[in-house]
Amino acid sequence: MPAHDEVDRIVGAWLRERPDLDFAPLQVLSRVGRLAKHLDRARRTAFSRSELEVWEFDVLSALRRAGTPYELSPKSLLQQTLVSSGTMTNRIDRLVERGLVTRRADPGDGRGVLVSMTPNGLARVDAAITRLVDAEADLLSTLSAADQERLAGLLRKLSLDFD
């Protein structure tokens, strides 16, 4: 493992130029930002290999996590994907066109709709999550299991105030 990375170089240059500032936050959050870019690239690759866009994976994975029969109301999908109702309607329409989901009337609510994943949608989301888990394991491969667990705990602690 190299003794210095690009963040060390950047922070070192800032310390030289602005020794009056504490750059400790950059030591952590610049690395998180750089890692997020690598993760985004790995995710896009994993999803594209399953012929899915990131947003398609978001919707299909929400349905998959719901368990059999892999269906949710549009409102539940909104809550899980954090998009507007107009955006969700557009996304559902596009997924229906691609044969990845269907819409049907909610038997428990005459005015409601349920979005159900098709077998094709299930196959694609399962392939994508398998590829994603493999890609993410590769990104973390330089850390031991104990280090990964410790890092996950620290990141959880940091993110609790944001969720």
Contact indicator for 35, 138 with CB cutoff of 8 Å: no
Contact indicator for 76, 118 with CB cutoff of 8 Å: no
Measured CA distances, 89 to 82, 157, 160 (Å)? 13, 35, 30
Q: How many residues does the chain have?
A: 163
The confidence score (pLDDT) of residue 110 equals 78
Block means of pLDDT (10 residues each) for the chain, 163 residues, are: 83 95 94 93 92 95 96 92 91 97 89 94 96 94 96 93 77
What is the identity of the amino acid at 123? A
The confidence score (pLDDT) of residue 2 equals 58
pTM greater than the 0.95 cutoff: no
The confidence score (pLDDT) of residue 163 equals 65
Could you identify the residue written with the tokens 């609790």? 160
Burial of 155 (0-12, 13-18, 19+ CB in 10 A): exposed
